[in-house]
Structure 1
Amino acid sequence: MRFDDLTAFVRSAATGSFSNAAREMDVLPAQISASIKRLEMELGIRLFARSTRSLRLTADGERYLPFAERALSALREGQENLRLQDVDFSGVLQITAPSDLGRNVLLKPFTDFRLEHPGLELRLFLSDQLTDVFREPADIALRYGILEDASFVSLPIVPRNRRVLFASPAYLDAHGRPGSLEELCEHDCLIYMLSGRPYDRWEFPDGEGRKWIDVSGPLVANDADVVRRWAVAGQGIGYKSELDVAEDVFAGRLEVVLPEIEGKLSPLSLICPHWRQLTPSVQKLCAHLREYFLALDHSRSPELRTGA
């Protein structure tokens, strides 16, 4: 089974057409088509239902896709480890990240990475606005959430990170601990701006679907880190990525509220516009961040583990 055939399959599924996959891989559409045919013959199944106007995965193709993605990820990781051992890292690497994640979580691993590779210059741009992912002159972005734009390349850093409800012990002692999501409406909830509007409708998984809880409070900020600081100061209940508040929870400054209720999945990923931008420096940084969060995860108690 050829590496390029697997890549053609995964990118065709992601981009929705052989032509788009061909442009991304810098080959002819006929080469993508030939790769898919070889793979289908090797597997003995149809991967795509094809017509002149559309391309969609068959049921077999949908079942096979996650295995192909994991296989490619493992192969790339092996190649990267071999190739990166003797690379002399130098030049400029420009990164954009959410402001609170950058200040409070990423600063140490970024600094450690730069010290390990003194020939490399890191430039960090912090922004909470999702529309700013590549507005700054950045090579890569660190972002929360599930990437819906298949034209970007997304590499998982902490794939099982979730949002959690949190508040300070002082606030909960004074106002009581909510016994259900519905009781959040009786509390001061700390709200930040998301995509230009207040994030005051909090989403939670609910079986096979989703549940939304409308919340309110007297404090709203356009900087998500302010919400964490307000929570530490005893001003209300927040709902943010576990990575953002895990250190405060571990230190006792914050407490997880309704820990038995699973929050919205909010994976942390490294994003870049094209596979060609996965330079050795970017790949090495990705591996460094994965190792950092995995070690950090193992050092915490089970209820604080993010599942890196």
Structure 2
Amino acid sequence: MLRGTLAELEAVVAVSVHGGFRAAARELDISSSALSQQIAVLEARIGVRLFNRTTRSVVLSSAGEQFVAEITPALAAIRKAVDLADEHRTEPSGTLRINTSVGAARMVLNPVLLEYKRRYPQMAVEIVTEGALVDINAQGFDAGIRIREAVPSDMVILPISRSVRPVIVGSPRYFERFGRPSVPADLMDHDCIRGRMASGSVYHWEFERHGETFTMNVPGLLTLDESDLMLRAAREGAGLAYLNSWQVGPDLANNTLIEVLEDWLSPYPGLCLYYPGRRHIPAKLRALVDLVREVAWD
């Protein structure tokens, strides 16, 4: 007799991956209370506590660690069998789960993701944005969208945008007060809006000219962890921001922001759709791949 339903097993794995009920419940699209109840029912049925719970944390017990290690490969095999069966469909169905960054999601939301929804209105599409790169296969995502240099080498890669051009921008009000830098070294006398990455480290601005590349840990009294906040701060004259041309295009066109040090910045490989390499892909992902090939832009 099977000692746990598939939903209960998926619940245990999700909580173990996310380290808590709230994030796991969002992934499974159920309430936290329903998720907790599923796990409580399973624990009562098998007579073993799988998680040690406190008011601040949910951690696998030793029995839970062994349990998750045993069921995870089996659940992966079940998902694979479902995907293989789905190949016989001529139309996409189910839920398409995409992992990406906030900035990448903004770039592809309308030309790719919303267009996918318009073409396949019966499809459920879930977009999860986070700064840190995750194992999309292990966490149940169908695909990811990231800049090319961040994509793991074992993934199938399909370019969406050909390149991304970085820009350094400031407001007219800022330049009236502090002047414009002529070379990167001048930035040491400016107030720069620094960016903190998902790893916790501060991003060092990257430069390239005549084949020479280098980075600078620029000075600044304002550090933010989201590019849209940096853009807003730059508009308000808070300092210079290192962003991308797509994000600041409207501001450059209407002179809300002014670009500097253009000759010291070079484009880098753009956004890619990526997914695990396998012989067959489900219809829902195949439809997204076809759409990306159709709408990819320079």
Task: Say yes or no: TM over 0.5.
Answer: yes
RMSD value, Cα: 2.8
Bigger CA radius of gyration: 2
Q: Give yes or no for the alignment of 1:155 onto 2:176.
A: no
2:110 corresponds to = 108
The Cα of 1:187 is off from its aligned counterpart by 1.2
- Does structure 1 conserve the Cα–Cα contact (< 8 Å) formed by 2:159 and 2:270? yes
Q: Secondary structure at the match of 1:228?
A: helix
Structure 1: gaps (5+ residues): 1-85, 295-307
The Cα of 1:253 is off from its aligned counterpart by 2.9
Q: Secondary structure at the match of 1:236?
A: coil
CA distance, structure 2, for counterparts of residue 250 and residue 133 of structure 1: 37
- Does structure 2 conserve the Cα–Cα contact (< 8 Å) formed by 1:193 and 1:199? yes
The Cα of 1:198 is off from its aligned counterpart by 3.5
1:208 corresponds to = 211
Question: 1:99 corresponds to which letter in structure 2?
Answer: V
Mapping of 1:164-175 within 5 angstroms?
164-175=167-178
Equivalent of residue 96 in structure 2, options 93, 97, 104: 93
Structure 2 length-normalised TM? 0.61
- Does structure 2 conserve the Cα–Cα contact (< 8 Å) formed by 1:185 and 1:215? yes
The Cα of 1:231 is off from its aligned counterpart by 1.5
1:126 corresponds to = 129
CA distance, structure 2, for counterparts of residue 277 and residue 236 of structure 1: 49
Equivalent of residue 182 in structure 2, options 179, 183, 191: 179
Structure 2: gaps (5+ residues): 1-88
- Does structure 2 conserve the Cα–Cα contact (< 8 Å) formed by 1:205 and 1:262? yes
- Does structure 1 conserve the Cα–Cα contact (< 8 Å) formed by 2:91 and 2:283? no
Mapping of 1:251-266 within 5 angstroms?
251-263=254-266, 265-266=268-269
2:276 corresponds to = 273
Structure 1 length-normalised TM? 0.59
CA distance, structure 2, for counterparts of residue 156 and residue 143 of structure 1: 10
The Cα of 1:145 is off from its aligned counterpart by 4.0
Residues 1:277 and 1:93: Cα distance change in structure 2 (over 3 Å) = farther
- Does structure 2 conserve the Cα–Cα contact (< 8 Å) formed by 1:154 and 1:272? yes
CA distance, structure 2, for counterparts of residue 226 and residue 259 of structure 1: 22
Mapping of 1:63-102 within 5 angstroms?
87-102=90-105
1:117 corresponds to = 120
Name the count of aligned residue pairs. 209
- Larger deviation, residues 92-101 vs 258-267: 258-267
Question: 1:107 corresponds to which letter in structure 2?
Answer: L
- Does structure 2 conserve the Cα–Cα contact (< 8 Å) formed by 1:164 and 1:263? no
CA distance, structure 2, for counterparts of residue 290 and residue 173 of structure 1: 45
Question: 2:108 corresponds to which letter in structure 1?
Answer: L
The Cα of 1:140 is off from its aligned counterpart by 1.0
Residues 1:144 and 1:250: Cα distance change in structure 2 (over 3 Å) = farther
CA distance, structure 2, for counterparts of residue 277 and residue 193 of structure 1: 39
- Does structure 2 conserve the Cα–Cα contact (< 8 Å) formed by 1:184 and 1:215? yes
The Cα of 1:215 is off from its aligned counterpart by 0.2
The Cα of 1:136 is off from its aligned counterpart by 4.8
CA distance, structure 2, for counterparts of residue 138 and residue 277 of structure 1: 16
CA distance, structure 2, for counterparts of residue 168 and residue 134 of structure 1: 42
- Does structure 1 conserve the Cα–Cα contact (< 8 Å) formed by 2:97 and 2:127? yes
Q: What does the per-residue CA deviation read over 1:118-163, in whole Å, with 9 as the maximum and x for residues that have no partner?
A: 1221101011223476675321111124146321222111122232
1:5 corresponds to = none
1:245 corresponds to = 248
1:79 corresponds to = none
CA distance, structure 1, for counterparts of residue 232 and residue 137 of structure 2: 27
- Does structure 2 conserve the Cα–Cα contact (< 8 Å) formed by 1:185 and 1:214? no
Mapping of 1:5-20 within 5 angstroms?
none
CA distance, structure 2, for counterparts of residue 224 and residue 277 of structure 1: 37
